[in-house]
Amino acid sequence: MTRLTLVLALLLSSTGSVMAGQSQLDDLHISRAWSRALPPVAPTGAAYMSIENRGGQAARLVGVSTPIAERAEVHQHTHTEGVMRMQRVDDVVIEPGQQVDFAPGGYHIMLFNLNEPLAAGASYPLTLRFEQAGDVEVQIDVQDDAPQAGHHH
Ligand SMILES: [Cu+2]
């Protein structure tokens, strides 16, 4: 392989991966993004949403962040011997054609050391980091009750 061919091949392969990332971003549909309203003194909160993967390859959520909390983590509730606990998970995989619901009692985004209250009617940005697709920013609506099932923005 000549040097020029090698450079061309490298260029083509990197362009290809960027495009794959872009298209996977388009394949991720996030709906029902909400937080439960809490009293202003609450130090922690949680965010919920549904993530649907309409693409052909698995998507892996590897991180979360938001300006309204010092730290955000992906958590899962587990039942062990009748006791409900929650624990941090490193990633959540959304298989092609699948939807994963983050909801009370299951997966949730845990927010530590809130620097503004989760007041009903407010909203705030949350960034979901996917391994291939990159960052997706969603707007989280703060409300008293869970949104209706099947409601999409
Ligand atoms: Cu939690």
Q: Supply the CATH number for residue 108's domain.
A: 2.60.40.1890
Q: How far is the C-alpha of 136 from the C-alpha of 131, rounded, in Å?
A: 11
Please write the tens of the pLDDT for every residue from 89-105: 999 999 999 999 999 99
Q: Is residue 152 part of a domain?
A: no
- Measured in angstroms, how far is the CA atom of residue 153 from the centroid of ligand 1? 26
pLDDT tens for each residue of 44-85: 999 999 999 999 999 999 999 999 999 999 999 988 888 889
Amino acid code (one letter) for 122: A
* pLDDT for 15 beyond 50: no
Q: 6 C-alpha vs ligand 1 centroid, how far in Å?
A: 49
Q: How far is the CA of 89 from the centre of ligand 1 (A)?
A: 10
Asked if residue 120 is part of any domain, the answer here is: yes
21: pLDDT strictly greater than 60: no
CA 103 centroid distance within chain: 12
By the CB criterion, residues less than 5 angstroms from ion ligand 1 are 75, 86, 110
Helix (H/G/I), strand (E/B), else coil: 20 = helix
Whether residue 151 lies inside any domain: the answer is: no
**Domains held by the chain: number:** 1
- Whole-number Cα distances in Å, 153 to 25, 31, 128: 17, 7, 18
Residues 6+ away with beta carbon under 8 Å from 34: 47, 48, 49, 140, 141, 142, 143, 146, 147
Domain containing 91: what range? 3-143
